[in-house]
Structure 1
Amino acid sequence: MLSRTLMIFAGLLGAAGVAAAAGASHGESRNLSAIATIFLAHAPALLALAMLGKGRVLSVASLVLALGAMVFGGDLALREWAGHGLFPGAAPLGGGAMILGWLGVAIAGVAGKSRP
């Protein structure tokens, strides 16, 4: 179930990242450029984690990474189009979650068992 959820997140982030890149190319928007960068960097990683990831630590790290990217990007998108953020501190919270997710991936690599 988690791998399907991660694939959904990967697909949504990838599509939104391409749309944000297209929008950024037609104007001067730091928010759209940042969304494109974050989403297009994290979508393939989440897809790989969905397809290859095993273990509890890696599963939690992947979910934290996905949610962090969504909160971060959602906050920037609302700032771009609505003139206000998702909630106070959303971007730093999302960014912090992405950092924790990546550290979780590293911990899973260190703590993981070797595959035969």
Structure 2
Amino acid sequence: MGAAGVALAAAASHGGDTAFLGSASTMCLAHAPVLLALYLGHRHFRTATLAALVLGLGTIIFAGDLVSRHYLGDRLFPIAAPVGGSGMMLGWLIVASGAFFRVREV
């Protein structure tokens, strides 16, 4: 996710209209450290695995739609960006809900 964010930032800086690629880069770079942290803490954080799956998938769909719009001139699929954005928001809510569950015993 981090590498994709950097690659998209580089493409945005060299590719004319940067609105789509810049936004895709931002989402990837914003979520990469969170996904790493969720992986590293998954044994101590009950909702980490689900949150990582939902956040990761939401980011991939959202960024994929923006990349598709830039390079192909069309959406990844109808309502892809709202689906991906909703996935990212749901993922963050799952992260927050982890505060209400007991820590796993290791």
TM-score normalised by structure 1 residue count: 0.81
Structure 1 counterpart of 2:50: 60
Please list every run of at least 4 consecutive aligned residues from structure 1 whose deviation after the TM superposition is greater than 6 angstroms. Answer: none
Q: CA deviation at 1:34?
A: 0.2
AA at the equivalent of 1:22: A
Q: Secondary structure at the match of 2:74?
A: coil
| 2:44 paired with 1:33 | no
Structure 1 counterpart of 2:31: 42
Identify unmatched segments of 5+ residues in structure 2.
none
| 2:5 paired with 1:17 | yes
Structure 2 counterpart of 1:97: 87
**Structure 2 contact 51–94 (Cα < 8 Å) conserved:** yes
Identify unmatched segments of 5+ residues in structure 1.
1-12
What is the identity percentage for the equivalent residue pairs of Structure 1 and Structure 2? 49
TM-score normalised by structure 2 residue count: 0.88
Q: Secondary structure at the match of 2:73?
A: coil
| 2:91 paired with 1:83 | no
Structure 1 counterpart of 2:96: 106
Quote the Cα distance in structure 2 between the aligned partners of 1:30 and 1:112: 42
